Structure formats: structure tokens, C-alpha cells
Amino acid sequence: MKRNIPLLITAFSGLVLILAYFIPMTQSWGEVAAIWFDILASIAFILGGGNLIKLHARKMALRQAGWAYSAITLLAFALTLFIGLSKIGVSPNLQFPDMAWSGHYRESGAPFWWIYEYAFKPLTATTFSMLAFYIASAAFRAFRAKNLEAILLLGTAFIILLGRTFAGIILTSWLPDSLAGLRIENLTVEIMRVVNTAGSRAIMIGIALGVASTSLKVLLGVDRSYLGSGEE
């Protein structure tokens, strides 16, 4: 019962979406299923938040290493959530100024906007910008022209790195028009248009077959890993 009904739900919901593709009169069923899916996706954020609280509260309660940082995480989470949900400092909608909650939660200048602009945005952007440093370090440590395949990879990388900047244009601008195809910027275009397309397309076809097979296994109940262990 605890596992059979979910299997039936999986199969049925998948079948509705598949039928909606092929039978026009079932299109609205597919839309309804997709709308419910979209709502559940936003409720999953609550699940994520709850999990965060559970994890960090446990760390604090057990005084595990780094529990003070968990306290900071929970404080930041609670503050953001409270300010955002309560619409503190948000002016009401100009068409309904007597309704305090009618304003838009992302209003520029409001505390929630301030948290986004001066905390969330710089922290996220800077964390991802660190990758530029790591890619330089990885390029120095890992990329070795050990064999023909590695030479092909590195050679292509050099052509792309030069060809997508002004350096490539300067380096091969002296080539006559009859050999224009060998200019680095043109080589870059040809590599992307022909060779990269060929390789990416083959990968895409392979992945598509893999996704189709996995989806079928899930819908037919062959793959039940999403139900978790059979302990409950």
C-alpha cells in the first residue's frame, strides 16, 4: 500500500502528460497536471527551508564543530524570511494605499530589496566569480599534452581562447584573403559550426536515449529508487 499507490500515481501522472502530447482532447488534463506540478515545486522551497532549519538546529543542539556558523545561517534565514513575508517597509500599492499588504514585496528601497541587492547578490556573484581563479589553477596543474587526444583538446582550446578575442584577429590578420579560412577567428567559427556541432549532437542523441529509457523505467515501476528504502 505504502509503495504501490505511489507507483500507480507515478505511472498515471506520467501517462496523462504523454497522452496530452498526442490526443488534443486530453491537453487540458496535461495542463492541470503541469500546474499542480508547478505549485508543488514552490512548496518544495518550504521543504528546503525546513530541512535547513532541521540540519543546522541539530548541529547547534549537539554543539558540533562549527555550530556558531549554523547559528549565523539560521539567523540570516529567519531575518530574510520575516522581512520578506511581512513586507516590512514596503509601500502599499498606489491604487490601494489603504491596504498595507497590497504593495509589491520586491519594491526597490525596501528592506527585502536591500537584502537582495547588498547581501544576496554580492555573495552569490562573488562565490561564482572565484571559479575564474580555480580554472587558472586547474589549467596550470592538470592540462598536459600527453597524447594525441590531449593535444587535440588543448589545440582547440587555444584556437577558441584566441579566436574569441581581439588577439586572434591581430595574430592572423596578415593572412591573404585566399587563406582567410585559416584566420583564427574564422577557424573558431568553423570548429564550433561543424566539429563541435557534430560532437555535441552525438552526445545529445545519446543522452536523449538515456533519458527516454530512464523515464520508461520509472513510469513502468522498474526503477523504484525514488521511493527510498523499504523500511516504512
Partner 1 sequence: MKRETLIWSVLLVLGFLGLTGRALLTDRGMANVYVRAVDRTLVQVETEAEAAEAGGVLSKRWVDAEAPEAADLDLASLGADQVRKVTTYEQVLPNDYYRAVSEDPDQAQIRWSASRTVGVWVAAIFTLAIFSFLYKDNVFYKIAESILVGVSAGYWMVVGFWDIIVPNLMGKLWPALVKGWAMPGLEAQPEPLYWVPLILGVMLVWRLSPKGSWISRWPLAFIIGTTAGLRLISFLHANFLAQISNSIVPLIVMEGGQVDIAESVRSLVLIVGILSCLVYFFFSFEHKGAVGKTAKLGIWFLMITFGAGFGYTVMGRIALLAIRLEFLFDDWLWLIDPSNARILFSAIS
Partner 2 sequence: MYTFLKNLDRRWIFLLMFLAVAIPILFELQFPEHPTGLAQAVFDEIEALQPGDPVLLAFDYDPASEGELGPMATTFTYHCAKKGLKMYFMALWPVGAQMIDDNIAKVIKADFPELEYGKDYVNLGYKSGYEGVIKVIVTNLRGLYTTDSYGTSIDSIPMMEGVTDIRQMKLLVNVSAGYPGTTEWVQYAITPFSKDLRMVAGCTGITAPLLYPYIPNQLPGLLGAIKGAAEYEQLVMDAYGGEKVDQKYMKARQRMGPQLIAHLLIIGLIIVANILFFMEKRKGVVR
Q: Which residues bind partner 2 (CB under 8 A)?
A: 17, 21, 27-28, 30-31, 34-35, 37-39, 41-42, 44-45, 93, 102, 104, 106, 108, 116, 120-122, 124-125, 127-129, 132-133, 135-137, 139-141, 143-146, 154, 157-158, 161-162, 164-167, 169, 185, 189, 192-193, 196-197, 200-201, 203-204
Q: How many CB atoms lie within 10 A of CB 20?
A: 19
Q: DSSP characters for 114-145?
A: HHIIIIIHHHHHHHHHTHHHHHHHHHHHH---
**Partner touching 6 among partner 1, partner 2, none, CB below 5 to 8 Å by kind:** partner 1
Q: Least distance to partner 1 from the beta carbon of 173, Å?
A: 20
Non-local CB neighbours of 25 within 8 Å, separated by 6+ positions: none
Name the segment binding partner 1 (CB under 8 A); options: 57-65, 148-156, 166-174: 148-156
In whole angstroms, give the CA distance from residue 207 to residue 209. 5
Q: Distance (Å, rounded) from C-alpha 101 to C-alpha 165? A: 50
| 168 burial via Cβ count (<10 Å: 0-12, 13-18, 19+) | buried
- The phi-psi region of residue 207 (left if phi > 0; otherwise alpha if psi is between -120 and 50; otherwise beta) is alpha
Question: Residue 185 binds what, of partner 2, partner 1, none (CB under 5 to 8 Å, by partner type)?
Answer: partner 2
The stretch among 57-65, 95-103, 167-175 that binds partner 1 (CB under 8 A) is 95-103
When CB distances are held under 5 to 8 angstroms depending on the partner's kind, the choice from partner 1, partner 2, none that residue 15 binds is partner 1
Choose between 97 and 173: whose C-beta lies nearer to partner 1. 97
Cβ of residue 161: shortest distance to partner 2, in angstroms? 4
The continuous run of DSSP H or E covering 176 comes out as none
The reply on whether position 80 binds partner 1 by CB under 8 A is: yes
Answer for which of 26, 29, 60, 116 binds partner 1 (CB under 8 A) is: 116
Comparing CB distances to partner 2, the nearer of 137 and 225 is 137
Binding residues for partner 1, how many (CB under 8 A)? 136
Q: 162 with 191: CB under 8 angstroms? A: no
Please say whether the dihedral angle defined by the alpha carbons of residues 21, 25, 29 and 35, taken in this order, is positive or negative: positive
CA–CA dist 51, 184 (Å, integer): 51
- Under the binding rule (CB under 8 A), the answer on residue 21 touching partner 1 is yes
C-alpha cell at 173: 590578420
Q: Which is nearer to partner 2, 104 or 224 (CB)?
A: 104
Q: Which stretch binds partner 1 (CB under 8 A): 57-65, 169-177, 200-208?
A: 200-208
